[in-house]
């Protein structure tokens, strides 16, 4: 039986979706499935796929590429010639172009891996794609699955939506660094500097901690369009001696080992992968009780969940952990155990492999 699989992701930058496509393509290749990856030439995913020995075909996609019949037919011919049986799609633009092309080519399983906990617009095009093109959806969290059908509960069958978390390669994480006796408590965050990530709450937190005469530092890693605004806020509150912006973080695990508590003030998350990264490094997490955060954080077990946007309670929670090195260690160790069982790369790979094996068994029946 034909077992050929294609992963199709044309995003040029590197993010959680690209990481998932690369790791899962390698997982299925190592399991004996013939795998090919379609991605933008010169993209981060293209380079990493080539480095890892994955066959690639370069393709450029824009939001309106699906309107080009020649591009759609060429892609359909590629799927047909390569005898693609199962196709994984990443972005709405990929769904529109490659999904329609795969439908034309007779690809058996057309799967959209969705990583954003934002409702799908109830448009005619989306109703067509979800009703007549896609066969399955993989959501990166239960929150993403729940919001997928928010605007139209009949958009797609619930039983065809599988929740599969991203996974962390725990073999790349060195043992925890215990620094609980230092005088300064280091609070950390990593994320794109965009409105969604809510880093302005961290500036407000620092102002409140300063008012309590506490000894702390806040490290906010990342880059993006909100960076200058955040720096201005720090200057306006005279916090430049305790709030620092180290820039884009190449080595996330080293960053995590340099802090005591990880803070996530995002307004929403499809799947807070950075929470899992903190857990992998034995760090307790304080975050808002919203979107997918409760899927990773068990309150008072591996972190603290705070009612959304309640800065008084957020500040009190952080101070509680600052004052208790023993609780920080307890929660950090519990987070690692949860990460090991639920959010490791081995667990994620096993879930996808079982899913794909079941697809092929069903198709053979």
At 236-258, the pLDDT tens digits run 999 999 999 999 998 999 999 99
Same domain for 142 and 177, yes or no, is no
> Where does residue 142 rank: exposed (0-12), middle (13-18), buried (19+ CB within 10 A)?
middle
Q: How confident is the model at residue 365 (pLDDT cuts 50, 70, 90)?
A: low
Q: Cα(264)–Cα(286) distance, rounded to whole angstroms?
A: 6
Q: What is d(CA 340, CA 353) in angstroms, rounded to the nearest whole number?
A: 18
pLDDT of 27 over the 80 cut: yes
Question: Are 84 and 110 part of one and the same domain?
Answer: yes
Model's pTM, two decimal places? 0.87
Tokens of 212: 């309590």
Contacts for 312 with CB less than 8 Å, ≥ 6 apart: none
Looking at the fold, whether 298 and 318 belong to one and the same domain comes out as yes
Q: Is residue 189 very low, low, confident or very high in pLDDT (cuts 50, 70, 90)?
A: very high
Distance from C-alpha of 301 to C-alpha of 138, rounded to nearest angstrom: 28
Encode 298-327: b = buried (16+ Cβ within 10 Å), e = exposed.
eeeebbbbbeeeeeeebbebbbebbeebee
pLDDT computed for residue 229 by the predictor: 97
DSSP state letter for 87: E
pLDDT at 318 over 80: yes
Query: Domain check: are 19 and 150 in the same one?
Result: yes
**pLDDT tens profile 194-239:** 999 999 999 999 999 999 999 999 999 999 999 999 999 999 999 9
Number of structural domains (the chain) is 2
pLDDT of residue 97: 96
Predicted confidence at residue 334, as pLDDT, reads 98
Write the pLDDT tens digit of every residue in 78-100: 999 999 999 999 999 999 999 99
- pLDDT of res. 13: 85
Q: Which domain holds residue 316?
A: 170-342
Quick one: 247 and 210 in the same domain?
yes
- What DSSP assignment string belongs to 167-198? -B-GGGSPPPPP-TT-SSEEEEEE--SSGGG-
Contact 211, 235 (CB under 8 A): no
**343 near 165, Cβ under 8 Å?**
yes
pLDDT exceeds 80 at position 179: no
- 129 contacts: CB under 8 Å, gap ≥ 6: 95, 96, 99, 100
d(CA 187, CA 284): 10
Domain CATH for 134: 3.40.50.2000
Residues 157 and 229 in one domain: no
Looking at the structure, tell me whether residues 112 and 223 fall in a common domain: no
As a whole number of Å, the CA-based R_g of the chain is 22
Residue 350 pLDDT > 80, yes or no? yes
In this structure, the answer to whether residues 160 and 26 fall within a common structural domain is: yes
- Domain check: are 254 and 125 in the same one? no
Q: Which residue has the higher pLDDT, 294 or 364?
A: 294
- What is the spatial distance between Cα 256 and Cα 275, in angstroms, rounded to a whole number? 10
Task: Write out the DSSP string of 227-284.
Answer: HHHHHHHHHHTT-TTTEEEEES-S-HHHHHHT-SEEEE--S--SS-HHHHHHHHTT--
pLDDT of residue 123: 96
pLDDT of residue 2: 74
Query: pLDDT digits over 283-305, tens only?
Result: 999 999 999 999 999 999 999 99
Same domain for 212 and 308, yes or no, is: yes
pLDDT tens sequence across 118-164: 899 999 999 999 999 999 999 999 999 999 999 999 999 999 999 99
Q: Say what the pLDDT of residue 1 is.
A: 60
Same domain for 264 and 234, yes or no, is yes
> Domain check: are 100 and 242 in the same one?
no
pLDDT surpasses 60 at 181: no
Distance of CA 220 to the CA centre of its chain: 18
């Amino acid at each position: 039986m034909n077992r050929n699989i294609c992963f199709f992701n044309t995003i040029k930058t590197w993010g959680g979706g690209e990481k998932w496509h690369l790791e899962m393509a390698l997982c299925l290749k190592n399991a004996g499935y013939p795998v090919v990856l379609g991605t933008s030439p010169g993209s981060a995913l293209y380079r990493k796929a080539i480095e890892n020995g994955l066959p690639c075909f370069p393709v450029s996609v824009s939001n309106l590429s699906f309107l080009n019949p020649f591009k759609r037919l060429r892609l359909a011919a590629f799927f047909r010639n390569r005898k693609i049986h199962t196709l994984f799609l990443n972005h709405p633009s990929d769904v529109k172009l490659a999904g329609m092309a795969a439908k034309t080519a007779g690809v058996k399983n057309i799967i959209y891996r969705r990583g954003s906990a934002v409702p799908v617009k109830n448009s005619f095009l989306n109703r067509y794609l979800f009703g007549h093109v896609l066969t399955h959806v993989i959501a990166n969290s239960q929150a993403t699955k729940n919001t997928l059908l928010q605007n139209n509960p009949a958009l797609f069958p619930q039983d065809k939506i599988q929740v599969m978390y991203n996974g962390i390669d725990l073999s790349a994480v060195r043992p925890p660094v215990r620094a609980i006796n230092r005088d300064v408590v280091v609070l950390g965050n990593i994320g794109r500097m965009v409105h969604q990530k809510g880093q302005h709450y961290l500036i407000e937190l620092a102002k409140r901690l300063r008012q309590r005469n506490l000894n702390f530092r806040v490290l906010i890693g990342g880059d993006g369009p909100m960076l200058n605004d955040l720096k201005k806020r720090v200057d306006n509150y005279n916090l430049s001696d305790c709030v620092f912006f180290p820039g884009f973080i190449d080595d996330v695990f080293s960053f995590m080992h340099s802090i005591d508590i990880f803070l996530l003030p995002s307004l929403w998350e499809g799947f807070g992968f950075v929470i899992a990264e903190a857990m992998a490094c034995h760090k307790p997490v304080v975050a808002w009780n919203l979107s997918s955060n409760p899927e990773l954080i068990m309150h008072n077990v591996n972190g603290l969940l705070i009612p959304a946007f309640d800065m008084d309670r957020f500040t009190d929670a952080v101070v509680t952990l600052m004052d208790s090195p023993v609780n920080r260690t307890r929660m950090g160790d519990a987070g690692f155990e949860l990460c090991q069982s639920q959010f490791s790369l081995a667990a994620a790979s096993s879930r996808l492999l079982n899913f794909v094996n079941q697809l092929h068994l069903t198709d053979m029946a």
